[in-house]
Amino acid sequence: MFALNADEQAIVDVVETFVDKEVRPAVRELEHADAYPDALIEQMKDMGVFGLLVPTEYGGVDTSMACFAAVTEQLARGWMSLAGAMGGHSVIAYILREFGTRDQKERFLPRMATGELRAAMALTEPGGGSDLQSMRTTAKRAGDSYVINGSKMWITNARRAGLMALLCKTDPSASPRHTGISLLLVEAAHGYTVSRDLSKLGYRGVESCEVVFEDVEVPAEAALGGAEGEGFAQMMRGLEVGRIQVAARALGVAAAALGDALRYAQERHAFGVPIWRHQSVGNYLADMAIKLRAARLLTFDAATRVDEGRRSDLEAGMAKLFASEAAMQIALDALRIHGGNGYSTEFEVERYFRDAPLMILGEGTNEIQRNVIARQLVERNRLPGDQTA
């Protein structure tokens, strides 16, 4: 069901080779130094990774969502931060191709395809978390412009992005609230301030920042699709892709953790036998493999629905939730299998354990995600005559 065509499989194979030969030998030093991986990012540009979701007419690769997820998994298997560096960028490419005006597509997509122009999502606010409708960042119309005031948090690529997709209120008094929210395409040249880098448990190397908008003026045509008040719906569509991407990141971290645990369990001996022969360790390995396989099936099911043009918000949410929880458990079990060595920075499993929680929290916390899934289940299976919202 999830087989890629020959061309797309070749893309995944190239990225897999890149991860094995270039990323994994270098990641420990880069990650521990919290150093930005300039050389690896340049190689990703050369491979077309930043143009995977850009249409070919704008210079992109235009892969299926399943191929995009497979590439993401491979990058995260090497270093989750690399998958993060292309994640938000790819979501913006997707919503631009779906909702952008012809001028917006021509202005941004060709440079995004090559990675010359990097894009970032600006959604979360200090104190706001997953409740996007309660945002305080505003963009007030002033003639042919919008004037933006507010701040955003946890913005990946903020210092290196030339384009930011900003979710903000253009009509704070709108009812329902989401009808007053717009998505503005804000360029770095417009003058927002990257105020500080946030120190993190994991997800190192790639910056996550606070961004401040203080009387930042952008032209009215910066509204995505030229439409005011459509931003919430546009971003919810983009977050379907974002949640598939986060699920695929979780697959990569989980696959790396399972691979390291399998190798260690065969190499390490205790009481005269490889430790995998001890039932407790063998049971861990079996459960880890089952969780990873189930997570992969959910993720590629959601990706395939997008490729088929079908609604996938429920499936993407399920994939993101299950895959992220599975990755966290698999990383913990890999650490257990390594014993004391799992707590050492000489082994990679401690990094997987620090990186895995981000997928539980990102693109909507799993606690919020469960509420969303329940609501979507009822919406798709509403009883006859039920008119409740």
Catalytic residues: 363
Closest to 69 in 3D by CA, of 18, 77, 388, 127 = 77
Q: Cα angle vertex 30, ends 27, 34, to 5°?
A: 130
C-alpha dihedral over 139, 141, 144, 149, to 10 degrees? -30
Instruction: State the amino acid at position 14 in one-letter form.
Output: V
Separation of alpha carbons 75 and 18, rounded Å: 9
| Residue matched to tokens 């001028």 | 103
**Separation in Å, CA 351 to CA 68, 307, 328, 354:** 24, 33, 12, 5
- Does residue 62 contact residue 54 with C-beta atoms inside 8 Å? yes
Separation of alpha carbons 332 and 328, rounded Å: 6
Separation of alpha carbons 8 and 12, rounded Å: 6
Token pair for 121: 């999502």
Q: DSSP per residue over 309-359, as a string?
A: T---HHHHHHHHHHHHHHHHHHHHHHHHHHGGGGGSTTSTHHHHHHHHHHH
Q: How many CB atoms lie within 10 A of CB 207?
A: 22
| Residue matched to tokens 């150093």 | 35
